[in-house]
Amino acid sequence: MNALELGPLVLSGERLSIIIGIFVFVLGSGFLASRVSIRFNAWSTFVVFGGVLVARLAYVVANWPHFQADPLRALAVWQGGFAWLWVIPVVALATAALLKTAKERAWALAPVAVSALAWIAAHQLASANEPLPPAEITLAQLDGAPLDLAAPSDRPTVINVWASWCPPCRREMPALAAAQKANPDVRFLFVNQGEGEATVRTYLAREGLTLEHVLLDPHMDLPRHYGTVGLPITFFLGSDGRLAKAHLGEIGPERIAAEIARLD
């Protein structure tokens, strides 16, 4: 499911598409530096680092209410979150300042266009989620009766797949707990992977987390149903129970809010 597994490293399709776009851009710029002008080396460096920085800052500013309480989270780029359209003025500035001839500036369009096409194609493939039906499994609940995940709930559902030994799982849990509290019309399920009841209770008590619907998945059946690898994973399901979006890796509060707003 939209991920690349490289040994212990798991890259989501979204992050992989960014890497592909940057790689194609650097490769094309390197070719121009060797064949057209050495100035393309400085130009490409400015575009890559300046573009990523500006795109991240623009995203943070646009979602400032979610960053205000913890501004340093702006540095958590592994959570994702970039306003890529803001790369355009960076490209324009670098082209005007660092490329000196009309020929160089015309050639600059080539790596920009090709890398953009590569990123868009990879992103579209990575963003395509098959609307899988809910998993036909019943899991024990930490507090309450066992829960049949295939039973109709008639409301949107957010499923977080986690484990207490997973650092990004632990970092994102407070944001998910806050989202659960802020969205009473959305059902949240926290599905622990492979840990016992005592371990889960101890962790939640130590962290002071109050979560509804904490489920135990000792055989990791839920990720198997959706075909996912790695932790954490957050699934967003429509009111019909079908998968609308799968987010691999740590998720920020602004992304949780955005994905919930898209659910019906």
Contacts of 135 (CB under 8 A, 6+ apart): 149, 150, 221, 222, 225, 226
Tell me how many domains the chain contains.
2
Residue 172 has a pLDDT of 95
pLDDT > 90 fraction of the chain, expressed in percent and rounded:
83
Q: How far is CA 216 from the centre of its chain?
A: 24
What is d(CA 261, CA 52) in angstroms, rounded to the nearest whole number?
26
**Cα separation, 117 vs 125, whole angstroms:** 12
The stretch 61-71 carries a mean pLDDT of 94
Residues near 239 by beta carbon (within 8 Å), at least 6 away in sequence: 153, 154, 155, 156, 263, 264
Q: Are strands 187-193 and 157-162 parallel, antiparallel or unpaired?
A: parallel
22 and 123 together in one domain:
yes
pLDDT higher than 70, residue 128:
no
If asked whether residues 103 and 163 sit together in one domain, one would say no
Write down which residue in 102, 127, 152 finishes a domain.
Answer: 127
What burial class does residue 138 get, using C-beta atoms within 10 Å of its C-beta: 0-12 exposed, 13-18 middle, 19+ buried? middle
Mean of pLDDT values over 36-50: 97
CA distance 256 to 179: 7
Q: Name the percent of the chain lying above pLDDT 70.
A: 95
For the ranges 1-15, 92-106, 165-179, 217-231, which has the lowest average pLDDT? 1-15
Let me know whether 146 and 254 are in one domain.
yes
Same domain, 52 and 162: no
Confidence of residue 35 (pLDDT cuts 50, 70, 90): very high
219 in a domain, yes or no?
A: yes
pLDDT at 5: 56
Alpha-carbon distance of 164 to 194, in angstroms, equals 10
What is the predicted pLDDT for the residue at 11? Answer: 66
Residues 163 and 116 in one domain: no
Q: Is the pLDDT of residue 57 over 60?
A: yes
The pLDDT of residue 131: 87
Tens digit of each residue's pLDDT (9 = 90 or more) over 212-255? 999 999 999 999 999 888 899 999 999 999 999 999 899 999 99
The predicted structure's pLDDT at residue 4:
58
- Could you tell me if 246 and 160 are in contact, meaning their C-beta atoms sit under 8 angstroms apart? no
pLDDT value of residue 122: 86
On whether residue 133 sits in a domain, the answer given is no
103/161 same-domain check = no
pTM: 0.87
Domain of residue 224 covers: 138-262
Give pLDDT, residue 107.
97
CATH number of the domain that residue 252 is part of: 3.40.30.10
Mean pLDDT of all residues in 85-113: 97
pLDDT of res. 102: 97
Highest mean pLDDT among 95-99, 208-212, 226-230: 95-99
| Mean pLDDT, the chain, whole residue set | 92
Statement: residue 171 has pLDDT above 60 = yes
Q: Answer whether residue 262 shows pLDDT above 70.
A: yes
